[in-house]
Chain A
Amino acid sequence: MTRSASPKLGAYAGLAALGLLAALALGRAELAVLAAPFAVAIAVGVPWAADPGMRAWVTLDRDRIIEGGNVGVEVELESVAGVQRLEVLLVLPGGLEAVGPNPVALRLAPGGSRTTEFTVLAPQWGAYRVGEVALRSSDRLGFFTFETQIDQAAPLKVYPHPEELRTMLRPLDTQPFGGNQVARSKGEGIEFADLRPFAVGDRLRRINWRASARRGTLWVNELHPERNTDVVIFLDSFAEARRDERGTLDMAVRAAASLADRYLKHKDRVGLVSFGGLLNWLTPATGLVQLYRIVDSLLDTEIMLSYAWKDIEIVPRRTLPPQALVVGLTPLLDARAVGAMLDLRRRGFDLAVIEVSPEPFTPPPDDELGRFAHRLWLLRRDALRDRFRSLGVPIAEWREGSGVQAPIEEVRAFRRYARTRR
């Protein structure tokens, strides 16, 4: 531990010296008696001060929580020489808050150990490292301060709170594997598709007896099979609009986590492309493990300033299966992400875009020129949306304060009534 003299030591030494000098100068023994307690305190305290020989271990009770949840941090302390008053501060990264007192002061007997617990609240999703502890103690008379910092930081992953989605965007095409999506093709399934005349090899249980009775020959039901689909979440992480603690990237990450959760529960394969200064991708897969992979990848999403031009060629082909539905989450602030999505559409991908609106985070300036520029900016954004719609890409604006379900419904309505050009 680092030892440093406290101001109290200098003050006591000064008072003792002043008292003795005044006693000598003025010839009054009383002044020496006044100075005596301070002098004796130094004479006793300075040699008596010893490094407490602190050791500490930090453990978290969990390494993954949902945002808004609490995690317990246990700090075990041990001292060779003992400490009358040990201050323990759990150093928390930005985005985490301590629930309850932090720092705390406690006493440690010589050779003894104590455990103190902190509760940490994680209001914001992200990947954090928790476990750095600052210790400070003083000797019995408070003349010296002993400080040390113990870094036993362990990773803590705070997952975004998924929004419950009632409906989802369904891709135009399905995959050959079993799932929950009713396919357009005909095969073994539950959903009725069509009637056709009986052919050799058809199963008897597929005979539609009513139709057969009406027509006098055997007719069988054709069914739509249930298949899974491929969904790729395309997250634009080039730029974001931010105000205080909120921003478009937070909204996009939460929406991505909600969509991934919902699609994976329906046995669909979900992949992720985080397209920005830092490029990150996950090939589509199913299952709970894939959900954790996606969410862990989302936690690492951050805005990294980059002037390098990137297009969709940079993403591996296997990340974007040909018949996958690509759901774009973008604030439409960076031309590179917009260009990549338009390029995807031109290559024939089934694309739907949810625009995470930056407008609530960028209020118009007060001056007239600023307001004019703001209006121009809004008009350019309208033109950009029209560009998407002209290519048959449904695009819905999502503003802060509402759930992601609303833009999803808007996109569904567009896809229901618009003709899709291949």
Chain B
Amino acid sequence: MAGRSQPALLAVGAAAVFLLAVGLTLGQIAAVPWTIVGLGVAYAASLEGNDLDGRVPLYAAGLLVTAELAYWALQLRDGARDEPGMGPRRLIGLLIAAAAAVVAGSLLVAVAHTPLRGGLVVEAIGLAAAIGALAILLLAARRA
């Protein structure tokens, strides 16, 4: 995907941040996923060339942390006051999750860098695996 001009990317990113700010202010939980989509679109639009971006695990962890913090803020809006010690505990959990996201993302980047021989068959298996993973995710979400 060709990179886009800086002002356009900044506009998309700023719009996403603005949406998050408005959503947190008004207590609109639906603003969070759309914020992540906006930030993801801004990142995707910034990609240039065919080389895999090595910083993507950091972006992935950043998106996860952004989403988690936003949901945390919205949870605290409901008025239930946390007892002392709950905040730091949750923050530590979030940092662990972010670190795990970086590690997982780095593994995926390493796997993506590995050249695979097999041509169309391998491509088809990969596509089926991706669709299968998608289906499992959606099924799990639906059953829940």
A→B interface (CB under 8 Å): 5, 7-24, 26, 28-34, 36-43, 46, 49, 84-85, 87-89, 101, 103-107, 140, 142-144
A26 touches B108 (CB 8 A): no
A37 touches B137 (CB 8 A): no
The 9 closest A-B pairs by CB, nearest first: A13-B141, A11-B33, A37-B101, A105-B80, A29-B112, A37-B64, A87-B80, A103-B80, A30-B56
A107 touches B33 (CB 8 A): no
Residues of A within 8 A of B105 (CB): 33, 36-37
What's the nearest-Cβ distance from chain B to residue A304, in Å? Answer: 36
| Alpha-carbon gap, A25 to B90, bound state (A) | 36
| Alpha-carbon gap, A126 to B44, bound state (A) | 64
Task: Please pick, from B52, B97, B130, B138, the residue contacting A30 in the complex, using a CB distance under 8 A.
Answer: B52
Q: Does B75 contact A (CB under 8 A)?
A: yes
A106 touches B83 (CB 8 A): yes
B60 touches A33 (CB 8 A): yes
| Alpha-carbon gap, A49 to B144, bound state (A) | 10
| Alpha-carbon gap, A107 to B85, bound state (A) | 9
- The A interface is mostly helix, strand or loop, or mixed, namely helix
Task: Please pick, from B59, B108, B141, the residue contacting A9 in the complex, using a CB distance under 8 A.
Answer: B141
A29 touches B52 (CB 8 A): yes
A28 touches B61 (CB 8 A): no
What's the nearest-Cβ distance from chain B to residue A100, in Å? Answer: 9
A15 touches B82 (CB 8 A): no
Q: Does B133 contact A (CB under 8 A)?
A: yes
| Alpha-carbon gap, A142 to B76, bound state (A) | 13
Complex A-B: 13 CB contacts under 8 Å: A7-B29, A8-B29, A8-B32, A15-B67, A17-B138, A28-B47, A31-B44, A33-B112, A34-B43, A37-B60, A38-B64, A85-B82, A107-B86
B104 touches A36 (CB 8 A): yes
Residues of B within 8 A of A88 (CB): 80
